[in-house]
Amino acid sequence: MAKRLGLYFLGILILGFGIVLNTKTGLGVAAINSVPFGISEMTNLSLGMATTILYIIFVGVQLLIYQKLDFKVLLQIPFSYFMGYVLDFYNNLLNFTVTSLPVALVLLAIAILATALGAYVVVTLDLIPNPADGMVKALSQVIDKEFGKTKLLFDCGMMLVTIITTYCLAGKIIGIGIRTILSAGFIGQIIVIYNRYFTKHLTLIVENSRA
């Protein structure tokens, strides 16, 4: 179990690094991160705090959908605070602005690889689900659609919320760019590659921790 927990938290750290590095490229952010990023850019809230607030809202909605106090859903609350702390830590650490497009594209590639790896590890180790994924899973049951299709609809909804919110409050669209589009096309494919090479090892760790 110790090894499983260690890898799980390492996955969160890698995921947080990818998310924050992505915000430094100036090429937009992933759909799920666009709402907290837009809010943090328009207010005094940090990226981590805005993400924590959004995640806790997701937890509340899940509890309403399930209509019971699900322990695994409740565990997403400390996850939300920890992820918020991780994002703010990296945001302070990676305190730079990219002005060169080639550099931005290189950083974007690294960010996508890191985000995909972190998300893959967190999901595969199956401890506490990311509140965003938990939200998609709950919604998929409500609308009776598979997880992948529900996630696509959910991401489109998050982008729409970001576009409307930032345009109405800031007079411009914040957080939506080439990265937002690439995340939908590439992250899933990269996770498939990670799955091909690493799932056997991670599954063995999960099974041993349950034995």
pLDDT 10s digits, 136-173: 889 988 888 887 778 888 888 999 999 999 999 999 99
- Whole-prediction pTM: 0.87
Residue with tokens 């994002």: 87
Residue with tokens 């939908």: 184
DSSP code at position 67: T
Query: What's the pLDDT at 97?
Result: 82
Is the model more confident about 180 or about 20? 20
What is the band of 185 on the pLDDT scale with cuts at 50, 70, 90?
Answer: low
Contacts 24+ apart (CB under 8 A), 156-164: 156/31, 158/31, 158/32, 158/34, 158/35, 159/31, 159/34, 161/35, 162/31, 162/34, 162/35, 162/37, 162/38
Q: Rounded to an integer, what distance in angstroms lies between the CA atom of residue 189 and that of residue 183?
A: 10
Domain ranges, residue 142 = 2-210
When divided into structural domains, the chain yields a total of: 1
Of 48-57, 125-134, 180-189, give the range with the top mean pLDDT: 48-57
Residue with tokens 């981590």: 48
